[in-house]
């Protein structure tokens, strides 16, 4: 364990924890309102650990939807994670199997973005760093969702205190962080338009998968950048086997 | 401890499928011996493509408070960090909702 790496991970994760806290609280408050117990709130936050899909699941619990439909909807909302795990494999492939087990469990949107950012900057993505970044988001997420369930009615309308704007802003910030990449603007614009069209005509949560698919297919079809062997990155990769 | 069996089973199933999505891409990609360049280009587009879909409909479906806040955050974000973006968006939304939109 490298302490400096762990601290850097905590630093990377802290703003994520801050931005997601209102949604954890909101989830807890709404869940209790829907008739979930605090133990169930904790259980869901601790095992599913995926904010948007937890809120979707909750909505369907409220409508007494059939179990398979709830599970299928949660799968649809979380389907983007398949892409995340494929895209971070190059940075975390040196982890041990047990480390990988936890790595994938903690792979939420911002965790994915921070991992890619660090990997692309040429810094070693060690398990210690990853765990630091993940744990400071995970533990508050579970605790704050329970707290939200306990305080429930005190939170009131999240719009009145402007909490609803934080998560979209946070995601916007992540998108901006990738603006120097090849084809960034084309991919972002196509995904944005496709997701808005899908949101309008197909509905949530499918707009995420459909919009993302449009941008990804575009990137695959656009002319490839001239290939340069990335020796430096390879050398760095091979140096990071200690944890 | 207060658990309803049906609820617990649904949550557990949701957790399993979610974990499946989080490991699924890794399982698929490690089965492949070599990643073709077009696939690599596609994987490189994943963050911008997916995360954009989480923001764009909010902008589209939200009111002017949300739109202005996101625009403000966009300009702030071109120059500074995440934390300042959050603050800028939050200030715009609060000012709008408690003055013009109130």
Q: What is the number of structural domains in chain A?
A: 2
Q: Do residues A188 and A172 share a domain? A: no
Report which of B46, B51, B52, B91 is spatially closest to residue B68, judged by C-alpha positions. Answer: B91
Instruction: Check whether residue A91 and residue A189 sit in a common domain.
Output: no
Quickly state the pLDDT bin for A237 (edges 50, 70, 90). very low
Residue B19 lies in a domain: no
Contacts of B18 in chain A (CB under 8 A): 48-50, 53, 74-75, 78, 81
Distance CA A35, CA A51 (A): 18
Q: Which of A153-162, A183-192, B29-38, B65-74 has the lowest mean pLDDT?
A: A153-162
CA B83 to chain centre: 16
- Picking from B4, B24, B38, B54 by the largest number of A CB atoms within 10 A of its own CB, the best residue to mutate is B54
- Cross-chain Cβ contact A173/B29 below 8 Å: no
Residue A167 pLDDT > 80: no
Identify whether the C-beta of residue A107 lies closer than 8 Å to the C-beta of residue A84.
Answer: yes
Instruction: State if pTM tops 0.95.
Output: no
Residue A241: per-residue pLDDT? 40
| Count of the separate structural domains present in chain B | 1
User: Judging by beta carbons within 10 Å of its beta carbon (0-12, 13-18, 19+), is residue B43 exposed, middle or buried?
Assistant: buried
Whether A21 and A118 share a structural domain: yes
In a domain, A197, yes or no: yes
Quick one: which H or E segment has residue A171? helix A166-177
d(CA B92, CA B21): 36
Same domain, A125 and A89: yes
User: Can you give the pLDDT at residue A238?
Assistant: 41
Contact A31, A150 (CB under 8 A): no
| Residue in chain A lying closest to B90 (CA) | A162
Cis omega (within 30 of 0) on the bond before A205? yes
The tokens describing B29, both together, are 């990609």
Q: Residue A138 above 50 pLDDT?
A: yes
CA atoms within 13 A on the CB side of A25: 18
**In whole angstroms, what is the distance from residue A189 CA to residue A74 CA?**
26
Give domain status of residue A232, yes or no.
Answer: no
Whether residue B86 contacts residue A174, with contact meaning beta carbons closer than 8 Å, is answered with no
Q: How many helices (H) and strands (E) does chain A have?
A: 12, 0
What mean pLDDT comes out for the span A37-56? 91
**Token couple for A77:** 């909302």
Q: What is the DSSP string of A40-88?
A: HHHHHHHHT--HHHHHHHHHHHHTT--HHHHHHHHHHHHTHHHHHHHHH
Using the Cβ of B50 and the Cβ atoms of chain A, whether some distance falls under 8 Å is answered with yes
- Residue numbers of the domain that contains A123: 3-178
Tokens at residue B97, please?
Answer: 């909702």
More confident residue, A18 or A56: A18
Same domain, A127 and A191: no
Residue A98 lies in a domain: yes
Please report the ipTM that was assigned to this predicted complex: 0.81
């Amino acid at each position: 364990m490298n302490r400096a790496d762990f601290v850097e991970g905590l630093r990377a994760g802290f703003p994520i924890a801050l931005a997601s806290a209102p949604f954890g609280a909101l989830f807890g408050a709404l869940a209790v309102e829907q008739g979930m117990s605090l133990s169930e709130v904790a259980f869901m936050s601790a095992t599913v650990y995926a904010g948007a899909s937890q809120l979707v699941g909750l909505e369907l619990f409220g409508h007494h939807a059939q179990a398979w439909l709830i599970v299928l909807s949660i799968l649809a909302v979380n389907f983007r994670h398949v892409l995340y795990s494929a895209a971070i494999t190059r940075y975390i492939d040196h982890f041990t199997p047990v480390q990988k087990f936890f790595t994938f469990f903690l792979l939420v949107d911002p965790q994915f973005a921070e991992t890619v950012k660090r990997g692309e900057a040429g810094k070693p993505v060690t398990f210690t760093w990853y765990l630091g970044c993940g744990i400071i988001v995970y533990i508050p997420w579970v605790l704050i969702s329970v707290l939200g369930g306990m305080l429930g009615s005190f939170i009131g309308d999240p719009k009145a205190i402007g909490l609803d704007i934080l998560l979209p802003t946070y995601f916007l910030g992540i998108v901006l962080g990738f603006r120097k990449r090849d084809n960034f603007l084309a991919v972002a614009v196509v995904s944005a338009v496709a997701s808005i069209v899908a949101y309008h005509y197909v509905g949530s949560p499918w707009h995420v998968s459909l919009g993302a698919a449009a941008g990804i297919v575009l990137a695959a079809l656009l002319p490839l950048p001239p290939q340069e062997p990335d020796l430096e990155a390879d050398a760095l990769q091979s140096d990071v086997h200690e944890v | 401890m207060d658990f309803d069996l049906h609820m617990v089973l649904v949550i557990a199933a949701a957790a399993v499928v979610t974990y499946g999505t989080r490991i699924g891409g890794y399982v698929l990609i490690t089965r492949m011996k070599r990643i073709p360049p077009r696939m690599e280009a596609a994987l490189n587009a994943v963050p911008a493509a997916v995360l954009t879909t989480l923001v764009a409909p909010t902008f589209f479906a939200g009111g002017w408070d949300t739109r202005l806040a996101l625009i403000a955050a966009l300009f702030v974000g071109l120059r500074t960090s995440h934390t300042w973006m959050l603050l800028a968006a939050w200030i715009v939304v609060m000012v709008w909702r408690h003055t013009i939109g109130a």
